[in-house]
Structure 1
Amino acid sequence: MRKRLTDIHSSRITVDALGRPGERVFLLQASEGDATFTFKIEKQQAAALALGIDRMLEELAERFPREISRLEEPLSSDLMLREPIEILFVVGQMGMGYDQSEDAVVLVLQELGEEGEEDTRVARIWASRAQMKALSRQIKEVVSRGRPICS
């Protein structure tokens, strides 16, 4: 299996949903310079991502203490989806890591592929702690606007 990799050093990262509750499409969007990358995710993936971000930021605060100032946090306008919305791929799996030398969190998105498919796409989105903290808050707000998550 071959993986095609896209690295995105994000100037902005967000999650939002389009449509009515029960029919919403959840999108994760990141930008680097003038380029914007949009990925389709499930509501449960979004909720799990917020939880994972919170856990990672708590762990990082213990292991590598550093205050996040208000000035580092993105503007509310940076948390809105940008047009045109062209989905790069549907996310099957997500993971996160941390690069201590850059003090950056990396969010790894792997394309949902068909069984036996040769190529899958992977995107690595690099973001600051402040961006990830704002992303977690944004996800929780977006998820809460809809119907409760089915268990």
Structure 2
Amino acid sequence: MSRQIHVFRSPDRFLAGTIGQPGEREFFLQVVEGRRVLSVACEKQQVAVLADRLGTLIQEVAKRFGAEVGTPSRTASDPVLTTPVDAEFHVGTMGLAWDGEGSQVIVELLALSEEEPTEDIVLEDREDGPDALRVYLTLADAEEFARHAGRIVAAGRPPCPLCNNPLDPVGHICPRLNGYHRDVRG
């Protein structure tokens, strides 16, 4: 089967979203351009890292190139996944780049594969590489994505005040208490 590279040059929406209840949520990244909708599955930590790195990239671009963030070109009025959500692939490797000529942030998400993709496979779009999703965003749209993704990650289970691991509704076995089960709600 040949490699699929999905390119979205001016998406209407690019967002992170979840399906399920906290503690059992599945995370997705979704891009919408016209009637074209593509979703990829990912881990919560990947969403958090992508949001953080986008924030850092935006700050660096503004500092180095004097680029202004501005306002998002698309409305973020509907930050919910378009259903049905059918993941094209599970994200393995993620990459970010700044296109100075087009003044755009490029988000590249590669499918999880058994082999770690090498730089030449990615940069040259070689046929033997993993499937990929490439999304071009303005600085404002990238900032809006990062802000929304941060809210999605934070909307999960609250952290334990002792070990910072997520708390289930009935508490959890805290490693800081040597496995002693303590209800921290009261």
- TM-score range relative to shorter protein: 0.7 to 0.9
Amino acid of the structure 2 residue aligned with 1:88 = E
Q: C-alpha separation between the residues in 1 aligned to 2:42 and 2:61?
A: 26
Higher helix share: 1
User: 1:30 — aligned with what?
Assistant: 31
User: 2:170 — aligned with what?
Assistant: none
Can you give the 5+ residue segments of structure 1 that lack an aligned partner in the other structure?
none
Q: C-alpha separation between the residues in 1 aligned to 2:20 and 2:83?
A: 15
**Contact kept in structure 1, 2:13 and 2:76, CA below 8 Å:** no
User: 2:16 — aligned with what?
Assistant: 15
User: 1:51 — aligned with what?
Assistant: 52
How far apart are 1:74 and its partner, in Å? 3.7
**Contact kept in structure 2, 1:74 and 1:131, CA below 8 Å:** yes
1:78 to 1:129, Cα distance in 2 relative to 1, 3 A: farther
Give the TM-score, by structure 1 length: 0.87
How far apart are 1:113 and its partner, in Å? 1.9
Q: C-alpha separation between the residues in 2 aligned to 1:7 and 1:76?
A: 21
* RCO higher in structure (CA 8 A, sep ≥6): 1
1:119 to 1:105, Cα distance in 2 relative to 1, 3 A: closer
User: 1:107 — aligned with what?
Assistant: 107
Amino acid of the structure 2 residue aligned with 1:75 = T
**Contact kept in structure 1, 2:70 and 2:139, CA below 8 Å:** no
User: 1:120 — aligned with what?
Assistant: 130
Please tell me whether residue 140 in structure 1 is matched to residue 175 in structure 2.
no
Amino acid of the structure 1 residue aligned with 2:57 = M
Instruction: Give the match's secondary structure for 2:4.
Output: strand
Can you give the 5+ residue segments of structure 2 that lack an aligned partner in the other structure?
117-127, 166-186
User: 2:79 — aligned with what?
Assistant: 79
Q: C-alpha separation between the residues in 2 aligned to 1:69 and 1:115?
A: 39
Instruction: Give the match's secondary structure for 1:138.
Output: helix
Amino acid of the structure 1 residue aligned with 2:77 = S
Please tell me whether residue 91 in structure 1 is matched to residue 91 in structure 2.
yes
Larger radius of gyration: 2
Offset from partner CA, 1:97-149 (integer Å, 9 cap, x none): 01111111110101012459x66201111111111100000011011110248
Amino acid of the structure 2 residue aligned with 1:5 = I
How far apart are 1:73 and its partner, in Å? 5.0
What is the aligned residue count?
A: 148
Q: C-alpha separation between the residues in 1 aligned to 2:21 and 2:73?
A: 29
State percent identity of aligned pairs: 31
Higher strand share: 1
